[in-house]
Every structure is written in structure tokens, then in C-alpha cells.
Amino acid sequence: MTLTAFALIYTAGLPEQDAPLRIQQAGAPPLTGKTLDGALFQLSAWRGAPIIVNFWASWCAPCREEMPVLQALHETGFRVVGVNVGEAPAQVASFASAYNLTFPILLDPDSYWLRVFRVRALPTTFFIAPDGALREVVSGGMSAHELTARAAALGKP
């Protein structure tokens, strides 16, 4: 597992130190692709609502801890999309089933979106306001309280 984490970070590259700041100033990059269930996903279709984009992997302990909170936020009306990085669809499907995840999960097998969003660690969560402005990027795990408070700061779903 540690080797997998190192390989993931190495393949993603290490962006410049101010990369998250520049992403925030520019807004969230467009995010499109196939979800775990084969549907086409476009982040732009969700404009007008608070959005949470979470980059994760099943081997990541903090990612696993955040999943029930992300699912609860989804169930209260927040638009949540998970971007799974580097894992096989069957493995992602098994994880999603075990955690009863019903929000869309994008597959990122070659870490393309990881590089576009300049993600340095898993989990990384992007909080996007209804107007499309990127309000905050949190790299690393969050407690249930932190995740819920940051989502609430985006406004009501």
C-alpha cells in the first residue's frame, strides 16, 4: 500500500507551491468523464448548487473515514462527486457498495484529473459555491465536524 501511495504521488508530480491558490483564483477546472455506473458526468451541469469534489482511493484511511460524512451530505442535498484515483472499477464498485455510496463516482485510472486539479495528497476536497467559484481546497483528511462546517459555509443545497 505504501508503495502504491508513493507511485501515485510520483506519477502525479509535485506542482508548484502556490498551485492550489492559482486554482482557487481561476475557479474549478472543468471535470467530465464516465462514472462508475457508466454515465457521463459533467461538473458544469451542477452549477447553481453547492458542490463538493472529493479525490480519494480505497487504500487511504482518511478517505474511508470521510465517506460516511460525504454520503450524509449528499443525502441532505449537497452535490457530491467522488473522483477515485488509480483503482480498478471492480475494486471501486466493491468499496462503494460496502459504504452504501450513492453519489456519482468518477474513475480516474491514469490520474489525469489528479494532475489537472493539482492534487498533492489523498483525500483532497474542493468546495465549490453555487456560482462556480472555488471557495476552498482542503488537502488531507477532515473530521466529520470540519467537513460538515465547510460544506455549510457554501450555503444551503
Name the nearest CA neighbour of 34 among 46, 42, 26.
42
Three-state secondary structure call for residue 146 = helix
- Give CA 30 to chain center in angstroms: 13
Across 93-98, average pLDDT: 98
Number of H helices, E strands in the chain: 6, 7
CATH 3.40.30.10 assigned to 2-9+33-152: yes
Q: Report CA torsion sign: 5, 10, 3, 90.
A: positive
Which set of grid coordinates corresponds to residue 1?
A: 500500500
Say what the pLDDT of residue 26 is: 61
The pLDDT score that the predictor gives to residue 30 is 86
Supply φ then ψ for residue 156, to 5 degrees.
-75, 140
Q: Is 136 helix (H, G, I), strand (E, B) or coil?
A: strand
Cell of 24: 482557487
pLDDT tens digits along 98-141 = 999 999 999 999 999 999 999 999 999 999 999 888 999 999 99
CB atoms within 10 A of CB 29: 14
The predicted model scores a pTM of 0.84
* pLDDT tens digits, one per residue of 4-50: 443 444 444 444 444 444 455 567 788 999 999 999 999 999 989 99
* Beta carbons within 10 angstroms of residue 48's beta carbon: 10
Q: What Rg do the C-alpha atoms of the chain give, in angstroms?
A: 14
